[in-house]
Amino acid sequence: MELLIFYGLGLLALFAAAAMIMVRQPVTSALLLILNMFCLSGLYAMLGAHLIAILQLLVYAGAIMVLVLFVIMLLNLREKKGIVSKHQIALQTAGVAVFGVFMAVIAARLHTSQLPNPKAVTASFGTVGAVGRVLFTDYILPFEIASILLLAAIVGAVILAKSKV
Amino acid sequence: MGNVIMADLARIPELLPSIIEMVAKVVFIFTMNMGVFAPLLGWVERKQSALMQDRIGANRADILGITAFGLLHTLTDAIKLLTKEDFIPRGADKPLHYLAPFIAVVPALIAFAVIPFGGQYVLWGHKTNLVIADLDVGILFVFAVASISTYGSVIAGWASNNNWSLLGGIRVGAQMLSYEVAMGLTLVGVFMVYGSLRMTDIGVAQENFFHWGIFLQPLGFILFITCALAENKRTPFDIPEAEAELVAGYFTEYSGLKFAMFWMAEFLEMVTISGVLVALFFGGWQIPFVTHEGLVKFFGFLGSNFAQVAVMVVHVTVFWVKVLGWIFLLMLIRWTLPRFRYDQVMELGWKIILPLALVNIFITGAVMLMVM
Amino acid sequence: MSGTYRKVDRNVTLTLWERLYLPEVIRGVTITTRHFFVNFLSVTKAYFGGKPSDRKIMTIYYPDEKPVLPEAYRGKPVLVLGSDGRGKCVACGLCEVACPPKCISIVGGMREDGTRRPVTYKLNGAVCIFCGLCEEACPEEAIVMSDRYEGLSEYDRKLMVYDKEALLVPEEKLGKRLDYIRRRMFGKWNY
Ligand code: SF4
Ligand code: SF4
């Protein structure tokens, strides 16, 4: 049963990701990305990481993608018809090539190296309490650094957006 | 994979009570929402607003002279909406135009899954927990789902190929985004006090009347209800549909059943908000000054199983009565206050509610440190 | 025109209490709640045969119940038919001149006894703006505004041109309006 759900979600996620790149309409593309995030969140939930799953929905699908959609709608992007310059084709090819090399390396590593044995998760794994405890004890320094980084970003955004401070 | 499924199937008999319980709960909530609230709230809204404004309200629809206090208008509304032409404007994005009402209505329905409408009872040896999904992340699920419902309105605004709709959609996006942030922060105080995100835990913790959320988190309550009203997009905060400015905002170009779905989504959201308010701030299914054990003892003469059933019925009734009370209050607010201006809404969200929510967190933390 | 004008002080500065917003919201909600419950009780009492309480619901069931209009209401203009069975109009044409959209047209004539009367009196109801100037201009109290507001629209414009027969209304039915125009402060009959 779980296997079925896993394959369903995984295939849907792959399909959404592929379609997102292929579709021409920017809004549809954004919606497909949201669908992809949904599937990802489902996969997290199946791994027992409920908090991550919900945060994926709440933050990425719920907030950030609304912002993206917002910008697309405001700019009202239309399909552009035109010739792709040689320059661009070269860039795209280079991009695909680099990505392919990366994937090949990862695949090779996966094949040769021994994967760690999967461990059964404890009952409290992925709950809010467990994640919070780890976050505020073992990883308190990275957590605080990340928060300061975000604060700096917020202040920067305010200064950029405001003509007069 | 075949034998995996077979193994799952083989476990069905032992899981049967849980499955029955699950189906019963889902069916109950679904009928409550779609069968009772969605159609009836239209009537409640009409009659209540009428009486508030010294009017009588819709009462002309009748069958053989029976008007049933205007209740039949619900029926005529349904007939009208079903038979109306489903209009799609030229140049609209057809698939998205179809999709938007569904995105709006489905989250409104599933958000109720984590709201407990009763406590835990042992019925014939089977432990029953009256909540569809007792998630550890609890209330965060409601937030996540609410943020998804934003897409319904935003896409509706975009797909209609109409400037009013687009403006409405953009306003929905901005308003929802602003108030989601604030709403999340307003409830942090509640989580701190009860030490859990799980809605059933919060419900159990409110067995003592003076531990109800409204007493422990008065500021959080006021901030939360403001945010909830804004998320609901009804009158003081209905800038996305502002009739005077934007015709009907994001659903200007909707008619027939698709319009009805937006309408329903609004009402269901109201039910959900009332449910959350009751579960977090008003003791959920608990009756003031009456403990679970006390109630069980009171019904003791029925025998242990039926006593549990009786307690369950009482608790569920209490919960829905509280929800109804809140719906009444939300409607009162909706028909009393005038609409805010767009900039006022944004200012209220970012400059007043957000800082106050942060202050609330600090105060709660300080008080908790002092008390403990 | 001198350029002086008085600045209106609208007193928009709110006190701190008002700016807190919440107390004022609660005040507003209290008012609407009171209205709701008073009306609710009154309606329920009336439903069970009791006497409704003081606050009346404003609504009337229009086609079944008709509102009582004040005499100052300006409905369809009508010609007054005297108690002697004669129209009061003497075809002086003042109303014709006074009518802003020029919807009245009169052809005057004589009766056998030498009094004047309109031979034809046409009032185009599709053009009339219900201003009441004809009533004001008339020296004979012969044309007054009635309280009739129903059935004034037709699907054909020709049907909306009223002739003398369609306009004549017996004096008794217009008593209230006639009293009203007589006691009007600046009415010409007061001089
Ligand atoms: S009411 Fe005014 S518009 Fe109508 S007939 Fe009299 S003067 Fe003319
Ligand atoms: S002003 Fe009076 S009397 Fe003269 S024509 Fe008109 S209705 Fe007749």
pLDDT in tens, A29-80: 888 888 888 888 888 888 777 888 888 888 888 788 888 887 877 776 555 5
How many whole angstroms from C106 Cα to the centroid of ligand 2?
A: 9
Contact A58 B170 (CB under 8 A): no
Q: What's the whole-number mean pLDDT along residues B88-117?
A: 82
Q: Whose CA is nearest to atom 3 of ligand 2?
A: C89
The response to whether residue C138 sits with its C-beta less than 6 Å from ligand 2 reads yes
For residues B127 and B207, state if they share a domain. Answer: yes
Average pLDDT over chain B, rounded to an integer: 81
Q: Provide the shortest C-alpha distance from residue C75 to chain B (in Å).
A: 26
C40–B56 C-beta distance less than 8 A: no
**Ligand 2 atom having least distance to the Cα of C91:** 5
Contact B332, B52 (CB under 8 A): yes
Closest residue by CA, ligand 2 atom 1: C138
Report the pLDDT value the prediction gives residue C191, as an integer from 0 to 100: 47
Q: Which residue carries 């970012």 as its tokens?
A: B350
| Rg (chain B; Cα; Å) | 22
The rounded distance, in Å, linking the Cα atoms of B104 and B107 is 6
Residue B110 at interface with chain A, using a CB cutoff of 8 Å: no
Q: What share of chain B is helix, strand, coil (3-state, %, to 5)?
A: 75, 5, 25
Residue whose tokens read 């086609």: C63
- What are the start-end ranges of the H helices in chain C? 16-19, 22-47, 94-98, 133-137, 164-167, 175-183
Pocket test for ligand 1, best of C104, C105, C127 (most atoms within 8 A of CB): C104
Split at pLDDT 50, 70, 90, the class of A98 is: very high
Give the mean model confidence (pLDDT) for residues B122-126.
72
Kindly give the pairing relationship between strand C168-170 and strand C77-81. Answer: parallel
Ligand nearest to the CA of C116: 2
Please tell me the distance between residue C104's alpha carbon and the centre of ligand 1 in angstroms.
8
Of B55, B335, B336, the CB nearest to C57: B55
d(CA B105, CA B266): 8
User: CA–CA separation, B271 vs B330, rounded Å?
Assistant: 10
Place C1 in a pLDDT band, splitting at 50, 70 and 90.
very low
Strand arrangement, sheet containing C161-162: C104-110, C116-124, C161-162
Q: Are residues B93 and B72 in the same domain?
A: no
Q: From B57, B83, B109, give the residue that closes a domain.
A: B83
For B274-285, give one letter per residue: b (16+ CB within 10 A) or e: bbbbbbbbbbbb
Residue nearest to atom 8 of ligand 2 (CA): C89
Nearest to C33 among B55, B332, B337 (CB): B332
**Beta-bridge mates of residue C116:** C110
Q: Cβ contacts of residue A50 below 8 Å, gap of 6+?
A: A44, A126, A127, B135, B136, B137
How far A73 CA lies from chain B's nearest CA (Å)?
7
Report pLDDT digits (tens) over C85-120: 888 888 888 888 999 999 999 998 888 888 888 888
B216, part of any domain: yes
Separation of CA C100 and ligand 2 centre (Å): 15
- Report which of C171, C100, C164, C161 is spatially closest to residue C130, judged by C-alpha positions: C100
B295 and B354 assigned to the same domain:
yes
**Alpha-carbon span C25 to C19, nearest angstrom:** 11
Classify B109 in phi/psi space as left (phi over 0), alpha (psi -120 to 50) or beta. Answer: alpha
Looking at the fold, whether B148 and B171 belong to one and the same domain comes out as: yes
Question: Is residue B258 over pLDDT 80?
Answer: yes
CB B142 within 8 A of CB B115: yes
Task: Give the span between the Cα atoms of B152 and B105, in whole angstroms.
Answer: 8
Q: Are residues B250 and B133 in the same domain?
A: yes
**Which residues from B are below 8 Å from C when comparing CB atoms?**
48, 50-56, 222, 332-333, 335-337
Contacts of B among chains (3+ CB pairs under 8 A): A, C
Q: Are residues B270 and B305 in the same domain?
A: yes
Q: How far is B307 from chain C (nearest CA, A)?
A: 37
Closest-CA residue, ligand 1 atom 6, reads: C134
Ligand 2 atom nearest C143 alpha carbon: 7
Distance C18 CA to ligand 1 centre (A): 50
Q: Which region holds residue B318: left if phi is over 0, alpha if psi is between -120 and 50, else beta?
A: alpha
pLDDT at A115: 62
CB-based contacts of A60: which residues, under 8 Å, 6+ apart?
A: A37
Contact list in B for residue A55 (CB cut-off 8 A) is: 140
If asked whether residues B362 and B288 sit together in one domain, one would say yes
pLDDT, residue A121, reads: 66
Q: What is the pLDDT of residues B204-255, one digit of tens each?
A: 778 777 778 777 888 888 888 888 888 888 878 888 777 777 777 788 888 8
Which of B83, B103, B124 marks a domain boundary?
A: B83
Same domain, B194 and B79: no
The radius of gyration of chain C from alpha carbons, rounded to an integer in Å, stands at 26
Percent of residues, chain A, with pLDDT higher than 90 = 7
Which atom of ligand 2 is the closest one to the Cα of C108? 5
Mark whether B67 and B184 lie in a shared domain: no
Mean pLDDT, rounded, for B274-289: 83
Q: C62 versus C184: which is more confidently predicted?
A: C62
Q: DSSP assignment, residue C174?
A: G
Interatomic CA distance for residues B141 and B138, integer angstroms: 6
Stretch B92-111: mean pLDDT: 83
Residues C59-80 have a mean pLDDT of 83
Three-state DSSP class for residue B313 = helix
What total number of domains does chain B contain? Answer: 2
For residue C9, report the phi and psi dihedrals to the nearest 5 degrees.
Answer: -90, 105
CATH 1.10.8.100 fits A1-78, yes or no: no
Query: Is residue A45 within 8 Å of residue A6, measured between CB atoms?
Result: no
- The upper half-sphere exposure of residue B7, i.e. CA atoms within 13 Å in the direction of its Cβ, equals 7
Residue nearest to atom 2 of ligand 2 (CA): C138
In sequence order, what are the beta bridge partners of C161?
Answer: C124
Mutate to test the pocket of ligand 2, among C79, C81, C88, C92 (most ligand atoms within 8 A of CB): C92
Instruction: Report yes or no: A130 at the B interface, CB cutoff 8 Å.
Output: no
Predicted pLDDT at A151 = 93
The domain segmentation of chain A, as residue ranges, is: 1-78, 122-165
C123 lines ligand 1 (CB under 6 A): yes
pTM: 0.76
Q: Do B180 and A62 touch (CB under 8 A)?
A: yes
Q: Flag if B332 and C55 touch (Cβ within 8 Å).
A: no
pLDDT digits (tens, 9 = 90+) for B129-138: 777 777 777 7
Q: Is C142 in the pocket of ligand 2 (CB under 6 A)?
A: yes
Is it the case that residue B82 has pLDDT exceeding 80?
yes
Could you read off the pLDDT of C120-166 as tens digits, one per residue?
Answer: 899 998 899 998 888 888 888 888 888 888 888 889 888 888 988 88
Specify whether B182 is located in the same domain as B71. no
Angle of the B94-110 helix axis to the B139-159 helix axis, nearest 10:
160
| Residue B58: domain span | 23-83
CA count, 13 A, side-chain hemisphere, B354? 13
Ligand 2 site, residue C104, Cβ cutoff 6 A: no
Burial of C69 from C-beta contacts in 10 A (0-12 / 13-18 / 19+):
middle
Question: Considering only alpha carbons, which residue of chain A is nearest residue B100?
Answer: A31
Check if the beta carbon of residue B285 is closer than 8 Å to that of residue B116.
yes
Phi-psi sector, B40: left (phi>0), alpha (psi -120 to 50), beta:
alpha
Q: How many angstroms separate the CA of residue A89 from the nearest CA in chain B?
A: 31
End-of-domain residue from the set B60, B83, B106 = B83
Choose which residue among C88, C89, C116 to substitute to test ligand 2 binding: the one with the highest number of ligand atoms within 8 A of its C-beta: C89
- Is C56 within 8 Å of B54 when comparing Cβ atoms? yes
DSSP string over B38-90: HHHHHHHHHHHHHHHTT--------BTTB-GGGTHHHHHHHHHHHHS-----T
Cross-strand bridge partners of residue C162? C123
Q: In chain B, what percentage of residues exceed pLDDT 90? A: 0
Residues B334 and B224 in one domain: yes
Rounded to 5, what percent of chain C is helix, strand, coil? 35, 15, 50
- CA of B342: how far to CAs of B170, B178, B186, B357, C19, in Å? 12, 12, 22, 21, 18
**ipTM summary value:** 0.72
Find the residue in B nearest to A76 (Cα): B158
The separation between CA B248 and the C-alpha centre of its own chain, rounded to angstroms, equals 23
User: Nearest CA to CA, how far is A108 from chain B (Å)?
Assistant: 28
What's the gap in Å between the CA of B144 and the closest CA on chain A?
4
Same domain, B111 and B254: yes
Per-residue pLDDT for A149 more than 90?
yes
Q: Which residue's alpha carbon is nearest to atom 8 within ligand 1?
A: C99
Cα of C68 from ligand 1 centre, angstroms:
23
Average pLDDT over residues C47-63: 68
Is B213:B199 a contact under the CB 8 Å cutoff? no
Touching B: A residues 48-107, CB under 8 Å = 50-51, 54-55, 57-58, 61-63, 66-67, 69-70, 73-74
Report, in angstroms and rounded to the nearest whole number, the Rg of chain A calculated over CA atoms: 21
